[in-house]
Structure formats: C-alpha cells, structure tokens
Chain A
Amino acid sequence: MRNLKRTSQLFFALALLLSMVAGLGTVSAQDLKVLRVGMGAAGTTVVWDVALATDTTSHTFIEMMFPGLAPRDETTGLPQHGMAEEWEISEDGRVYTFKIKEGVPWVVYDPATDSVVEVTDEAGNVRYVTAHDFVYGALRTMDPETASNYGYLPADWVEGGNAFNEGTGAREDVKIRAVDDYTLEITSPEPAGFLLQVYGLWVFAAQPQWTIEEHGDNWTLPENYHVYGTFVLKSYEPGSRVEIIKNPFWPGTESHPIPKLDVIEAVFLDASAALAAYEAGELDTIEEVPLPDLPRLQVERPDELYIGSRDCTYYYGFNVQKPPVDNVHMRRALSAAIDRQTLVEQVLGRGELPAGFFSRPNFAASATQEEYPDLGAHSDPELARQELELYFEETGNTLETMPQLTLMYNTSEAHAIIAQAVQQMWKENLGIEVQVANQEWQTYLDLLTEDAPQIWRLGWCADYPDPHNFLGDVFYSTSGNNHTNWANDEFDSLIDEAKVMTDFEARKPLYARAEHILTWEDAAIAPIYFYTKLSMIGTHLDASPSIIGIERYDKWDILG
C-alpha cells in the first residue's frame, strides 16, 4: 500500500509538473483590446502557407495577413481597393494593370522584444511590398512543384498559367509581370466579367520569397513568417489556439483599415464546446452555433445571435442515366415534391432561404427568382403529382413496378436530418418510398465520380463571387464537378456567352434561362436551400459579420 501511495504521489506530481510547464506562456494583458474568438472544429490546424491553404479557418487569417489586390468587401462581396490603389483594364478586356500601394513594409513578430518589427534585407534596408512579390506569389501558387490545390485558379486566369501548372510550359511564359516595382500587369487568356474578383483573391497575394527560400517548409513558423497585412502571427499551437497581434506599420487601405483591436486570440472548438465557452464568458464571439440551441438562444440572447448568409447552395443531384430518374418527369416530380419552405423553416430553422435556382442570389450578375418568378424549381405537391402521372404514362410503370429509388448522402447528422425529412415528403406527396443510405465521405466521393447513385446530395460554395462559379464551374457539360451525367448544348452556350460579358445586368437573363434549364426543364438537380451562417457576437463588440464565409475580425472593435 505504501508503494502504491508513493506511486500515485509520483503520478500526481508528474501530471502537475507537466501541466505547469505546458501552462507557461499564457500572457494576460489588461489594457489591450483582446478579441477572443471560437473558431472551426476541435483539432483544426491552420495551414499558414498562402499557396497551400484550402480551408476557411486558414483563409480567415491569410485574408488579414496578406491583403490582396482588390479584396472583396466581406459585407457586400464587391471588390474594394486593397494593395492595388488603382487599376486599368485594356480595351479588349484581357490586360489588367494594377498600381501597388507604396510604403507597406514586410513585418514579423520578434519574441525578444515582444513586438512587431520590420523585415530588413541583407543590407539592413526595410523590405517593402513590391509588384515582384505579387508576381512571385502567383507563380509560386501555380508552380507544379508547389502542388497547390488552388493552383488551377491563377493558372486558369493568367495566360500561359495552365501550361506552367501542367509542367508543359515555362515559368517565363506566364503573363504576369512587374512593369516596375509598383506596377503589376496580368494578362488573361480571355476576357471575363469577373476578372477583377479573381485577381483580388488570396492566390494573387504577395509572398515573401526570401524567407520561403531560406527556411523552406519552416517559413510558416512565427519567427520566419513575414506578412504585411493588419495582423501578425505571434503564437500558434496546432489544433488548439492562435494568437495574432496588430501590425503597427500597416498604413490602412479601403479594404483593410487600420485595426482598432490589439490582439486576436482564436481557439478551435466544436460548436457545442464553443457555445459552452461563450456562455461561460470565456469567448467574445463564436463562428458556429449548434442548431438545437437556437430556440433557446433566440429567447435568452436575442441580441447576440446573428444569422447571416453564406455563399453556398445545398442541392440534390440526379444521375440522369439511372432509371427511374432518367425520366425528366420523375425528376421534376421529385423536385417539386420537396417542400423547401417547410424544410428550412421547420426542420432546419436557421433562416436558410429555400432555393429554386442553383447559384446564390447575392452576386452582382446573379439572376434571382424574385426577378424571374416563373423560372426554376418550385415546391408544389399538385404539380409534382401531375409530373408523376406523366412519368407513369410515358413509361407504363406504376408505383408498384417502378424501380426502387435510393437517396444517398455522406455520413453526417445534418444531411441525415434533411434526407429523412425529404424522404417523408416524397412519401406523403407522391407515395414513393425512397430508401436513404449514407456513405463515409471518401467512399461517397469515389461513388459520385465513378457511378453516382440515383439521387445524391452535395453543397457548393463560391470560390469567387460570380454565378459563373456555380453554373459554369459545376454543371458545364465537361466539368469534373458535374456528377449528373447530364449535358445540354443550350445550357453550355448560354454559359459561354455570359462568361465574357462585362455588363452584369446583361448577363442576368442568360443565367436565368440557364438556371431554368438546369433546375426545371431538364431538372438535372433539385436545389434545396441557400446556406446561412450562425454566430454569437457579444453585445460589447462593434462587428461587421461577413457574408462570404470568411470573417474579417481585423475590422472589429471592442466597445467601452
């Protein structure tokens, strides 16, 4: 027993010691404005490398630390002046010339002085952000050696980019160049209405060549991580927390005003844990709210609950080669039998918008069902039953003899709830008993590509705020994201035509027609709803919640 006691004492002392060592380094600062944010999911790791980041959490930080040429305003989605003070577009709409803001230094966190310092070159001169850094950044992202997941984005929209990204073309032939230290010229392979939005993205941001080359993969450690935006990385504990501090050298732009906060502390928690921490007063804002707590929070904390929109669409796709959904009337019947209003109001209840079109309504060139009320998918049980009759007439099938339908989704609570609700609606409105099945994510993705099930779910979120990113990039006949096996020549030519037009209003009717073909005439998909984003924002904050999925905390402030 004595032995045992000693052992347990040892355990305890050891645990205590270890935890104390781990506990060092937490700094409390009373007079600083510190914003405490709950983000992402537990275990989220941030990919700090601008060229390699793919997730929202990483982009949240990168958007603050590496401002783009013309970043989107996070509340409107429209491009603003960022690192580009002005821009010129050539007559043919292909050459964009950006004037880069002068006097913006590269900075880094210096642990010795616990402050942000300017980065200097070998000669001791301060390094300022130049057009060359932007050229380097875009080229590094496209470089096949980098193997960036987003390499295709700059490659698609800079002449010579795709050849370079494929490894067949030379780096020198990519048409992005620094005319002088503060003039950047980008040539697109074709004109497009949304080029400024694309060039404003993070994949075209400046990257610090010297530190990347000197430190290799270690350049993202705080001591090597050179940035130029509003905040600077101070410390990072993978999967747990991030601390960033204000960059005092940032001069401020339209897109990135001089920050009022001093420190932003982010912790990574699951929605439920984050809400607990928020309710205990340990966090000022959280990015996600668990659905079941919504009714309670609406009553208990109405002023803190924020429901905003997100650039994503949830939809069910049909594999148009598999009976019975090879028949358009069956597809229309299924689509019209989904009571989208009930689904979003009763089942989901997060303020989602029922979707009759596929692309999000809040982009400049988006056609909306308010403007085109007769087009697109509509929830209408009567219409659904008529279409089902047409299916029976055409095929000679009856409810009993028609092939069994399976709706498949990737394993997740949220998808399960929607699938079960829709299953119920199909049963009530059409009398069809549809099986629902789920697949683990990876298997599911494999299935979609190789042999998509009759009915499947996916969501799509915008890469850049334009309907082309929805209709063109997903359902164009040759798109790798089109798992429906559906192709329509009229649809394709509408997309081609609208893509190169620069007048947003003129593009709208074309997209409206394309939407109608996709969602009703051919009913290749059944759009379900447009996403919303729920967050809790403390009433002591002056916040500007984002509609583009990436919060810009550097613009927030703490009142009082």
Chain B
Amino acid sequence: MLQYFTRSLLGLIVVLFVVSIITFALMHQVPGGPFASEKKLPQTVLNNLNAKYKLDDPVWKQYIDYMADLVIPRITTGEWKYSVTNDYLFNIKLPVGDNTTLRWMNFGPSYTDRTRSVNGIFKAHLPVSFQLGLAAMFVATVIGIPLGTVAALRKNTIFDYFSMSVAILGVSVPAIVLGPLLQYVVAVELKWLPTTGWGTFEQLIMPAFALGFAQSALIARLTRASLLQVLNEDYIRTAQAKGLRNHQVIVVHAMKNAMIPVVTVMGPLFAALLTGTFVIEKVFGLPGLGHYFVVSINQRDYATIMGTTLLFAFFIVIANFIVDLTYVWLDPRIRFD
C-alpha cells in the first residue's frame, strides 16, 4: 500500500512537470502576448511592462524562474509584505524565531489582471467552481442512477427506451440553449428563481441543473451497462435461485458491484466539471474559474495559463488516484501490488 502511494506520488510529480514544460513552451510559441491590444502600447510602456514581468529573458530562463518560485519553499522572518509577485499559497508559521514562516507555491502575478496574483484568482474563483461542480454532480447522480437502474431492469422495453431517452436528452441539448431557455422560462417568465448571480441556494439551482443534466447521461448509461453485467453474474443467479426477492437481490448484491464503474466516473467527472463550466458561467454570470482559464488563454496571460493548467492537471491526476482507491473499497478482490 505504502509502495503504491509512493509510486503514485512520483507519477504525479512527473506528469505535472512534463505538463508544465509543454504548456510553457506551447504558450510562448503561439503568436501574441499579454500586452497586445487594439491600441498599440508605446514602446516605452511595453519595455516597462516586459521589464516588470521579466518577459525580456529567454524563455528557458523564464521557465526556470517560474518553477523556482513555484516549487522551492522559502523561509521568511520578521515583517513580510504581500505583493502580487510575492504571494504564496501556503504560509505556515514555524514555532521558532520572530514570525518565522515557511512559504510555498508562488504562482506569480496575473499579467492582465494587474492587481491580482494567480493565487488570488484561485482563492476567489475555485470555491465557486467547486460548489457548482459538487451541486452538478449531485444532480447528475440523482437523475442518472435511477434512470440507469430502471433501464437495466426493464431492458429493451419501453421503460428502457424512455429512461435512456431522458438521459440522452441531457447531453443532446447544448448548454448554450438549455441555459438561456431555463433562465427565460423559470426566472423571467415564472419568476421562481433569480435569473443570474452567485451566493444563494436559489442562484445555484438552475446552473447546477443545466450542468448536471448534461452529465447524467454518462452516469445513466454506465449504471445500466454495469448493472446488466452484474445481474448476469453467477452469484446473483444463485441469490435469485435461493429465493431472495428480486428487488432485494438488486439492492443488496447487484448495486454495490454495479456501482464500481459509476464511482470511477465521478472523480474525472468532477475534474471535468471544474474546468468545463465556461458556458454555464457565462449564461448565469457566475464567477467560476472556467472563465479565467479561457480568458487567460485568449489574452496570453502566461502566469494564469500556467497556474490554471497545473491546477487542473493536478485535479485530474488526483481524481484518477482517488478512483483507484475507491475500487479497493468497493471490490475487495482488487489489491494494490
């Protein structure tokens, strides 16, 4: 088990490292820069900006500087002054000396959002994406699992077709249409919920539904497929033969095993929901991280691109790792070796 953890951790570091190199090289390769604008900035101003953000250095040196700021922890003593170039994600007070603090992970300043650091952007917007993602997953599960179960139990009947149609309806209606339609009907016409905004439970409902409904098809389809498979296993037949009533068989025996693939999808799904909320954020005016990810790429805000990419990569890897752990929990036959 310990060995497994060590190996996973090493793998994580290698993946993040390679992702950082590729992203850095790629974003500097494409045309444009963070300070290009419709009104061309005078050369003097550009020089000042490039000097401030060290964009004059060769790309390899910029990369090394960036990684050094990010990876190498710093210990500071005495007075510490915050600035967007000097903002660390972890600030741990050490029990020695005068205000000695261990600081780690400086993602640098945003180049276009001039008064914020990338850490500041994370702190402000990641919680929004997180809550939205959780709520959407909840919706996807609540819609998806019952639909999938019904479809599997009544395979190739009208119930099956109907359940799967409902699920597929979710993926088939683009969020760009579903979002504004919901907004118009539920909020503007019926006035049941607020149209836009973030902060209250009412404001969470529509975006979570729009986002979660689209993902419910995935869950429904997986539930159906794996339940069908499990129902076909010998031990279920044995249980049925022993006279257990049908729904007991399903609930007690089949569901637990059928959930394995469904659970495996949750982690990656959540990671995808964190990054893939751009459309919904736009439609409902939510301050999630998706917007800043897309905008940073469009604006060539190098530090924010790097920061968000590494963060998302981290989530994806961690999500897969957790999935592996869940496998063991749900199916004791699987072991780490």
Shortest Cβ distance from residue B126 to the other chain A in the assembled complex, whole angstroms: 12
Beyond A147-B49, A149-B35, A269-B285, whether A22 also contacts B116 by CB under 8 A is: no
Q: CA of A502 to CA of B82 in the docked complex: distance in angstroms?
A: 47
With beta carbons under 8 angstroms apart, the residue of A3, A14, A268, A270 that contacts B134 is: A14
Apart from A15-B134, A22-B200, list 10 A-B contacts with CB within 8 A.
A8-B142, A11-B134, A25-B199, A42-B281, A240-B198, A268-B285, A273-B195, A280-B191, A440-B298, A446-B31
Interfacial chain A residues near B204, Cβ < 8 Å:
15, 19
Q: CA of A215 to CA of B142 in the docked complex: distance in angstroms?
A: 48
Interfacial chain B residues near A30, Cβ < 8 Å:
none
Size range of the chain B interface in the assembly: 35 or more
Interfacial chain B residues near A167, Cβ < 8 Å:
47-48
- Does A237 touch B at the CB level, under 8 Å? yes
Interface residues of A in 169-223 (CB under 8 A from B): 215-218, 220
With beta carbons under 8 angstroms apart, the residue of B48, B52, B134, B295 that contacts A165 is: B48
- Does A546 touch B at the CB level, under 8 Å? no
Find the residue from A43, A277, A449, A459 having the highest chain B CB count within 10 A: A43
**Across the interface, do A47 and B114 meet the contact criterion of CB distance under 8 Å?**
yes
Interfacial chain A residues near B295, Cβ < 8 Å:
43
Find the residue from B116, B184, B197, B292 having the highest chain A CB count within 10 A: B197
With beta carbons under 8 angstroms apart, the residue of A16, A152, A270 that contacts B45 is: A152
Q: CA of A220 to CA of B120 in the docked complex: distance in angstroms?
A: 13
**Across the interface, do B187 and A446 meet the contact criterion of CB distance under 8 Å?**
no
Q: CA of A217 to CA of B83 in the docked complex: distance in angstroms?
A: 5
Q: Which residue of B lies closest to A49 (CB)?
A: B115
- Does B101 touch A at the CB level, under 8 Å? no
Beyond A144-B48, A276-B183, whether A16 also contacts B115 by CB under 8 A is: no
**Across the interface, do B48 and A239 meet the contact criterion of CB distance under 8 Å?**
no
Interfacial chain A residues near B134, Cβ < 8 Å:
11, 14-15, 18
Interfacial chain A residues near B200, Cβ < 8 Å:
19, 22-23, 26
With beta carbons under 8 angstroms apart, the residue of B82, B196, B251 that contacts A218 is: B82
- Does A396 touch B at the CB level, under 8 Å? no
Interface window among B7-15, B36-44, B90-98: B36-44
25 contacts between A and B (CB under 8 A): A8-B138, A11-B141, A19-B204, A42-B285, A43-B295, A45-B116, A54-B37, A147-B45, A149-B45, A151-B45, A165-B44, A215-B82, A217-B115, A238-B121, A239-B124, A273-B195, A273-B283, A277-B194, A280-B187, A441-B32, A442-B30, A442-B33, A445-B37, A460-B38, A480-B42
Mask of A244-267 contacts with B, CB within 8 angstroms, 1/0: 000000000000000000000001
Interface residues of A in 267-318 (CB under 8 A from B): 267-270, 272-274, 276-277, 279-280, 282
With beta carbons under 8 angstroms apart, the residue of B39, B114, B115, B196 that contacts A269 is: B196
Q: CA of A4 to CA of B223 in the docked complex: distance in angstroms?
A: 13
**Across the interface, do B141 and A147 meet the contact criterion of CB distance under 8 Å?**
no
**Across the interface, do B285 and A270 meet the contact criterion of CB distance under 8 Å?**
yes
**Across the interface, do A22 and B199 meet the contact criterion of CB distance under 8 Å?**
yes
Interfacial chain B residues near A238, Cβ < 8 Å:
116, 121, 124-125, 287
Interface residues of B in 106-150 (CB under 8 A from A): 113-117, 121, 124-125, 127, 130-131, 134-135, 137-138, 141-142, 145
Q: Which residue of B lies closest to A473 (CB)?
A: B39
Q: Which residue of A lies closest to B32 (CB)?
A: A442
- Does A241 touch B at the CB level, under 8 Å? yes
Mask of A78-106 contacts with B, CB within 8 angstroms, 1/0: 00000000000000000000000000000
Interfacial chain B residues near A280, Cβ < 8 Å:
187-188, 191, 194-195
**Across the interface, do A239 and B125 meet the contact criterion of CB distance under 8 Å?**
yes
Interfacial chain A residues near B82, Cβ < 8 Å:
215-218
Interfacial chain A residues near B52, Cβ < 8 Å:
145, 147
Shortest Cβ distance from residue B129 to the other chain A in the assembled complex, whole angstroms: 11
Inter-chain CB contacts under 8 Å: number: 204
Interfacial chain B residues near A42, Cβ < 8 Å:
281-282, 285-286, 291
Q: CA of A52 to CA of B53 in the docked complex: distance in angstroms?
A: 14
Interfacial chain B residues near A215, Cβ < 8 Å:
82
**Across the interface, do A47 and B115 meet the contact criterion of CB distance under 8 Å?**
yes
Shortest Cβ distance from residue B130 to the other chain A in the assembled complex, whole angstroms: 8
Q: CA of A444 to CA of B232 in the docked complex: distance in angstroms?
A: 59
Shortest Cβ distance from residue B192 to the other chain A in the assembled complex, whole angstroms: 10
Q: CA of A23 to CA of B42 in the docked complex: distance in angstroms?
A: 44
Interfacial chain A residues near B245, Cβ < 8 Å:
none
**Across the interface, do B135 and A15 meet the contact criterion of CB distance under 8 Å?**
yes
**Across the interface, do B43 and A240 meet the contact criterion of CB distance under 8 Å?**
no
**Across the interface, do A443 and B45 meet the contact criterion of CB distance under 8 Å?**
no
**Across the interface, do B39 and A442 meet the contact criterion of CB distance under 8 Å?**
no
Q: CA of A147 to CA of B56 in the docked complex: distance in angstroms?
A: 14
- Does B84 touch A at the CB level, under 8 Å? yes
Interfacial chain A residues near B180, Cβ < 8 Å:
272, 276
Beyond A19-B200, A216-B81, A442-B31, whether A147 also contacts B51 by CB under 8 A is: yes
- Does A481 touch B at the CB level, under 8 Å? yes
Interfacial chain A residues near B145, Cβ < 8 Å:
4
- Does B284 touch A at the CB level, under 8 Å? yes
Interfacial chain A residues near B114, Cβ < 8 Å:
47, 49, 52
Shortest Cβ distance from residue B292 to the other chain A in the assembled complex, whole angstroms: 7
- Does B259 touch A at the CB level, under 8 Å? yes
Q: CA of A398 to CA of B241 in the docked complex: distance in angstroms?
A: 88
Q: CA of A23 to CA of B198 in the docked complex: distance in angstroms?
A: 8
Interfacial chain A residues near B131, Cβ < 8 Å:
15, 18-19, 22
- Does B201 touch A at the CB level, under 8 Å? yes
Beyond A152-B42, A217-B115, A240-B285, whether A147 also contacts B197 by CB under 8 A is: no
- Does B300 touch A at the CB level, under 8 Å? yes
**Across the interface, do A148 and B285 meet the contact criterion of CB distance under 8 Å?**
no
With beta carbons under 8 angstroms apart, the residue of A26, A282, A443, A460 that contacts B199 is: A26
Interfacial chain B residues near A268, Cβ < 8 Å:
285
**Across the interface, do B281 and A460 meet the contact criterion of CB distance under 8 Å?**
no
Interfacial chain A residues near B292, Cβ < 8 Å:
43, 239
Interfacial chain A residues near B198, Cβ < 8 Å:
22, 237, 240
**Across the interface, do A4 and B291 meet the contact criterion of CB distance under 8 Å?**
no
- Does A454 touch B at the CB level, under 8 Å? no
**Across the interface, do B39 and A460 meet the contact criterion of CB distance under 8 Å?**
yes
- Does A529 touch B at the CB level, under 8 Å? no
**Across the interface, do A8 and B298 meet the contact criterion of CB distance under 8 Å?**
no
Interface residues of A in 119-161 (CB under 8 A from B): 144-149, 151-152, 155
Q: Which residue of B lies closest to A241 (CB)?
A: B197
With beta carbons under 8 angstroms apart, the residue of B32, B47, B208 that contacts A443 is: B32
Interface residues of A in 496-540 (CB under 8 A from B): none
Interface residues of B in 38-80 (CB under 8 A from A): 38-45, 47-49, 51-52
